[in-house]
Amino acid sequence: MADSPRSPGSSTQLRKAVLSSFLGSVIEYYDFLLYATAAAVVFNKVFFSSLSPVVGTIASLGTFTTGYLARPLGGVIFGHYGDLLGRKRMLVITMTLMGVASALIGVLPTYAQIGVWAPILLIVLRVLQGIAVGGEWGGAVLMSAEHATSRRGLWASFTGSGAPSGMVVSTLVLTLMTSVTTDSQFLSWGWRIPFLLSVVLVAIGLFVRLKVDETPVFAATRAPASPPLFEVLRRYPKNLLLAIGVGFAAFVVQGTLTTYCLSYAVHVGFPRQTVLNALTLSSAGAAVTVIGYAALSDRVGRRPVVLGGAIATAVMSFLLFPMIDSKSVGLLTLALVLGQSITHPAIYAPLAPLYTELFGTRARYTGASLGYQIAGIGAGVAPVVFASIAGAGGGTGVISAVMAACCLLTVISILALRETHKSDLTEEPHGAVTDVHALADADPAPNA
């Protein structure tokens, strides 16, 4: 059943919600992925200078992983209150938290200055970043999807497009800093400027976000009888597990393309700036194709788009490293563009509307956030695991095989789900456990 029409004024709020979600996602992922790039090329020298280069790189990428491990916690915390109190309030808090954590990273003393406290404080701030982005994504997607009366995938996709857009902004700022500083200046203070700029971006984002109303779908329902997390685990366990399975490959591939390949290509012999340029180009392409694939999923369904993307990405995983090993700038750029701009977005783009459609309204923020953020651990774990495989003498063929296996998990999971692109967000999704008590709890009634 298609979504029912709402008030005429909802189109204005939809535009505001989409802009707010896009800007919020850009800012959150600018900060979050800026850390990824810095972890690959800077932090091993600044915060882990007492370790060997290989161990320092693994340790640096390990701090990067902690942010992904913290994301499900952020999804639970902000999802809980977002399902009880509303989406908008939580989104203001997540954006502020991310800005503060990122700015503090920008002024953090190095290992040479305060010793072991430097990496400890770095990990604490990275965890705060993870909590913030863990709460941001679900709320931002719902602000767009629950305001939409049609083309839900298209409007929700602007949140997904914000991730590669944030990568573009972060790599462009890093590129600017590397071009105006020497290597010693960049390692001393140049890398800090992009983190400090997040304060300005957050101020702009909050200005837009505060002008958006709460979603009409949320406003028309009452609070659940039990905590939202219990609702998810009691009524949507199958949907949650399949959501994790569907998205896992997207994040493993994302972490590989945006973080591990950066470190790997530099190790092969490419100049750091050359790799950043290729990464920026591929991220810019992804910002466009994410929207295109999501719009396509409104027409043909979520399942065909994800299925095709998973198969294409599995094939691409075996081409990726030989193309980088060629030491050709053209093939390096083509590899990242094919992976990040063409194949990966087909898996990733439908996740925003799909996760929205798998959970009921008063457990949707929690359920969508948990599914996305638990799957997202793959992006944090992959670079560390792959760096460890390489450090132990394992070949890139093993890494490609792991990526392909993750794509197989996505194929199995998406085939186990029914199509959802025509579902009504005011109704219970397919796969919900509907016992007598659950049905009573789900009876929609306006807020008092």
Residues ≥6 apart with Cβ < 8 Å to 102: 31, 34, 35, 125, 129, 195, 198
Q: What is the pLDDT of residue 341?
A: 95
Q: What mean pLDDT, rounded, does the chain reach?
A: 85
Question: Helix, strand, or coil here: 358?
Answer: coil
Per residue in 27-64, pLDDT tens? 877 877 777 777 767 777 777 666 666 666 666 666 76
Q: What is the mean pLDDT of residues 99-108?
A: 90
DSSP for 77-125?
A: HHHHHHHHH-HHHHHHHHHHHHHHHHHHHHT---HHHHTTHHHHHHHHH
pLDDT of residue 56: 64
- Which conformational region is residue 430 in: left (phi greater than 0), alpha (psi within -120 to 50 degrees), or beta? beta
**CA atoms of 249 and 229, how far apart (whole Å):** 24
DSSP string, 152-199: HHHHHHHHHHHHHHHHHHHHHHHHHHHHHS-HHHIIIIITHHHHHTHH
Which pLDDT belongs to residue 50? Answer: 62
- Write down how long the chain is: 448
The mean-pLDDT minimum among 71-85, 208-222, 330-344, 376-390 falls in 208-222
What is the C-alpha to C-alpha distance for residues 315 and 359, in angstroms, rounded to an integer?
32
Quote the tokens at residue 206. Answer: 């909050």
Confidence of residue 258 (pLDDT cuts 50, 70, 90): confident
pLDDT at 17 (0 to 100): 86
> CB–CB of 147/17 below 8 Å?
yes
Least confident interval from 291-295, 339-343, 428-432: 428-432
Please tell me the least confidently modeled range out of 47-51, 73-77, 106-110, 129-133.
47-51
What mean pLDDT comes out for the span 377-393? 85
Q: Shortest CA distance to 32 belongs to which of 274, 263, 258?
A: 258
* Average confidence (pLDDT) over 212-223: 81
Rounded CA-CA distance 322/325 in Å is 5
How much is the average pLDDT of 288-316? 96
> Which of 354, 335, 322, 328 lies closest to 257 in space, CA to CA?
335
The C-alpha atoms of residue 384 and residue 13 are separated, in whole angstroms, by: 42
Report pLDDT for 123: 86
Write down the pTM of the prediction: 0.82
**Residue 376, both tokens:** 């997202």
| For range 262-278, the mean pLDDT | 87
Q: Which residue in this structure is represented by tokens 């005429």?
A: 8
Residue 329 CA: distances (Å) to CA of 90, 254, 262, 288: 43, 21, 13, 23
Which residue in the block uniquely carries the two structure tokens 């186990």? 416
| H helix or E strand, kind and range, residue 357 | helix 351-357
Cα separation of the two ends of the chain: 28
Instruction: Give the model's pLDDT for residue 126.
Output: 86
User: DSSP characters for 189-248?
Assistant: IITHHHHHTHHHHHHHHHHHHTTPPPPHHHHTSPPPSS-HHHHHHHH-HHHHHHHHHHHH
CATH number of 11-435: 1.20.1250.20
Helix or strand or coil: residue 432?
A: coil
pLDDT (average), residues 206-225: 81
pLDDT at 301 over 90: yes
| 417 DSSP 8-state letter | S
pLDDT at 188 over 90: no
Q: Is the pLDDT of residue 151 over 60?
A: yes
Tokens coding 232: 């998810």
Residue 359 DSSP class:
S
Tell me what the mean pLDDT of segment 275-298 comes to.
Answer: 93
pLDDT at 20: 86
64 neighbors 36 (Cβ within 8 angstroms): yes
Confidence grade of residue 411 (pLDDT, cut at 50, 70, 90): very high
pLDDT at residue 444 above 60? Answer: no
What's the CA gap between 309 and 407, in Å, rounded? 9
| Plot region of 301 (φ>0 → left; ψ -120 to 50 → alpha; else → beta) | left
pLDDT computed for residue 5 by the predictor? 41
Measured distance CA(303)–CA(47) in Å, rounded: 44
CA 196 to chain centre: 21
Question: Where along the chain do its domains lie?
Answer: 11-435
The number of beta carbons lying within 10 Å of the beta carbon of residue 139 is 31
